[in-house]
Amino acid sequence: MTFDWAYAAAILPALLEGLVITVQATALGMVVALTLGLAMAVVRQGGPRWLGWSVGQFIEFVRSTPLLIQLYFLFYVLPEIGVALSPLATGILALGVHYAAYCAEVYRAGINGVSRGQWEAAASLGFSPWQTWRRVVLPQALPPVIPALGNYLVAMFKDTPLLSAITVMEVLQVAKITGAESFRYLEPLTLVGVMFLALSLAAAQLIRGLERRFGRLGRAA
């Protein structure tokens, strides 16, 4: 079997359309993961005890079960409780929640890196809890963890093909359908692999840049 360049060129536009969906799912999933993860980390540290505990259990649960099962769960159970989301939206939600659990742990490490003296200085000046988070703690906690969060962005990107399991027309799903129609899988799957490789390499480059920019841990003065 030889690689058919003409065929590859012919299916490329369809695959690129799938890639756009993949990138979309990753980007939106990451927005969900970053915000929900931060909210969970803050609640764990500063919220009421029972809520912090619940969030901790939830994080543990999410991290201990496979993403694929979480995907199926949301895909089949949400409609039953009256929540009608498109497959793509369901996929974004699942990716977001799954990676939020990991991001929350990363944020937590950053928050723990801010010394108790910073909290006390803020309190002694009369800052409210919200002002303390916004003005004192997060500006110190976030920059050092940006590279680690970037790594999860890449990991999430590589997990998006799982969305094909719930019929999302992301790039792998398009490749499988194309292959099934023409009985040729070499070209579509090779192209998909190359696409992931190229974007992952670009992202890795970005993360190295972030590490150079933010990599040093913030120290207290």
In whole angstroms, the minimum distance from the beta carbon of 111 to other proteins comes to 14
In the bound state with other proteins, the residue whose beta carbon lies nearer, of 121 and 199, is 121
In whole angstroms, the minimum distance from the beta carbon of 45 to other proteins comes to 16
Alpha-carbon distance of 188 to 181, in angstroms, equals 11
In whole angstroms, the minimum distance from the beta carbon of 134 to other proteins comes to 9
In single-letter form, the type of residue at position 102 comes to Y
In the bound state with other proteins, the residue whose beta carbon lies nearer, of 64 and 124, is 124
In the bound state with other proteins, the residue whose beta carbon lies nearer, of 101 and 138, is 138
Alpha-carbon distance of 85 to 91, in angstroms, equals 9
Our finding on whether 112 is near other proteins (CB under 8 A) is no
In the bound state with other proteins, the residue whose beta carbon lies nearer, of 23 and 121, is 121
x/- letters, 116..145, toward other proteins (CB under 8 A): -xx-xx-xxxxxxx-x---xx--xx-----
Alpha-carbon distance of 41 to 110, in angstroms, equals 10
In whole angstroms, the minimum distance from the beta carbon of 141 to other proteins comes to 10
In the bound state with other proteins, the residue whose beta carbon lies nearer, of 93 and 114, is 114
Contacts 24+ apart (CB under 8 A), 214-218: 214/143, 214/144, 214/146, 214/147, 215/144, 215/147, 216/144, 217/113, 217/144, 218/113, 218/114, 218/140, 218/141, 218/143, 218/144
Query: Given its phi and psi angles, is residue 219 left (phi above 0), alpha (psi -120 to 50 degrees) or beta?
Result: beta
Q: Binding segment for other proteins among 50-58, 110-118, 148-156, 182-190 (CB under 8 A)?
A: 110-118
Alpha-carbon distance of 8 to 195, in angstroms, equals 13
In the bound state with other proteins, the residue whose beta carbon lies nearer, of 70 and 132, is 132
In the bound state with other proteins, the residue whose beta carbon lies nearer, of 119 and 185, is 119
Residue 120 C-beta-side C-alpha neighbours within 13 Å: 4
Contact between 137 and 194 under an 8 Å Cβ cutoff? The reply is no
Q: Binding segment for other proteins among 2-10, 98-106, 203-211, 212-220 (CB under 8 A)?
A: 212-220
Alpha-carbon distance of 32 to 12, in angstroms, equals 30
Our finding on whether 221 is near other proteins (CB under 8 A) is yes
In whole angstroms, the minimum distance from the beta carbon of 115 to other proteins comes to 8
Which residues contact other proteins (rule: CB under 8 A)? 115, 117-118, 120-121, 123-129, 131, 135-136, 139-140, 218-221
